[in-house]
Chain A
Amino acid sequence: ETGVTQTPRHLVMGMTNKKSLKCEQHLGHNAMYWYKQSAKKPLELMFVYSLEERVENNSVPSRFSPECPNSSHLFLHLHTLQPEDSALYLCASSHDGRAGELFFGEGSRLTVL
Chain B
Amino acid sequence: AQRVTQPEKLLSVFKGAPVELKCNYSYSGSPELFWYVQYSRQRLQLLLRHISRESIKGFTADLNKGETSFHLKKPFAQEEDSAMYYCALSGTAAGNMLTFGGGTRLMVKP
Contact = CB atoms under 8 A, between A and B. Distances in A.
B100 A43 contact: yes
Contacts of B49: 100-101
Centre residue among B44, B100, B103 by max chain A CB count within 10 A? B44
A42 B44 contact: no
B96 interface: yes
Contact of B86 (A4, A43, A97): A43
Which of under 10, 10 to 19, 20 to 34, or 35 or more describes the interface residues of A? 10 to 19
Contacts of B97: 45, 48, 56, 99
A55 interface: yes
B96 A42 contact: no
Given A43-B86, A99-B90, A104 B43 contact: yes
Given A90-B44, A100-B32, A42 B90 contact: no
Contact of B98 (A4, A41, A99, A105): A99
Interface of B: 4, 32, 34, 36, 43-46, 49, 86, 88, 90, 95-103
